[in-house]
Amino acid sequence: MDSPTRIIDYDKLLAESDAMADAFAKADPFPHIVIDDFLPPSFISSLNDSFPDFARKKKSGSTHIPVLLEDGSEAQLGKEWLSREQLVPLVYRRLYWELNNNPFVALLEKITGVPGLLADPHLAGGGVHRTMPGGYLKVHADFNKHPQYGLDRRLNLLIYLNEDWRPEYGGDLELWTADMEACVHKIAPIAGRCVIFRTTTTSFHGHPHPLTCPADRSRRSVALYYYSNGRPEQEGAREHGTLWQDTPG
């Protein structure tokens, strides 16, 4: 990890950026793109070998406060996250630095068509995520304002770390229509896969079905969010928290 070599293959992404920008803009049910082999397998293995100790978060005084829906169920079950950089190993901080630096943010602007993007040094709600067996995350649209700065949340970037992940384990990321009538895409959370999508009041997503992975596995990912100072009216400028949704049936 002492090498200054970049983790991300910028040459490859730049060469494909025009095609990716076109695919992103035309994607249903909202603008998004899936990039496989976003990180080298060796780097994914390093992240998994150094996966953070979530017990440190609990020891530091953080506790889980359940979000209950109208039917009494939890909006997310068995999910934990670490946003504070000082609680994660250096290999994760190395990844954060890469994804928050100028060249990568400029590349994001080109692919997504969102100008003036700003990285979040607080990693509010982001960082390292894991969901334990039996856990889930109900379909939702994310909070749209940064809690400290009041900036507008524009993009989510998710990187999955799940090596040898089998379809029967579940945990697919589901992308739903604005009227919540249909799931348009299911994206398996396999290692090295990156998903980037625009965050609006109707960018409904989640993995609402309980994980069926073995007891010694968990659904692992890294999440970073990007902001701008202002956003188009049509994306919903009204400030809101997480907008949880019921799925049909």
Instruction: Indicate the SS3 state at residue 90.
Output: helix
The answer, yes or no, to whether residue 2 has pLDDT greater than 50, is: no
pLDDT digits (tens, 9 = 90+) for 169-193: 999 999 999 999 999 999 999 999 9
Q: Which residues contact 10 (CB under 8 A, 6 or more apart)?
A: 103, 104, 107
How far is 65 from 209, CA to CA, in rounded Å? 21
pLDDT digits (tens, 9 = 90+) for 100-145: 999 999 999 999 999 999 999 999 999 999 999 999 999 999 999 9
Nearest to 48 by CA among 192, 211, 207: 192
Looking at every residue in the chain, the average pLDDT score rounds to 93
pLDDT for 3: 46
pLDDT digits (tens, 9 = 90+) for 195-222: 999 999 999 999 999 999 999 999 999 9
Residue 200 one-letter amino acid = T
The domain segmentation of the chain, as residue ranges, is 32-55+79-229+237-244
- Is-contact 169 212, C-beta < 8 A? yes
Instruction: Indicate the SS3 state at residue 220.
Output: strand
pLDDT for 72: 81
pLDDT for 54: 86
pLDDT digits (tens, 9 = 90+) for 42-70: 999 999 999 998 887 665 555 667 888 88
CA 183 to chain centre: 18
Architecture of domain 32-55+79-229+237-244: Sandwich (2.60)
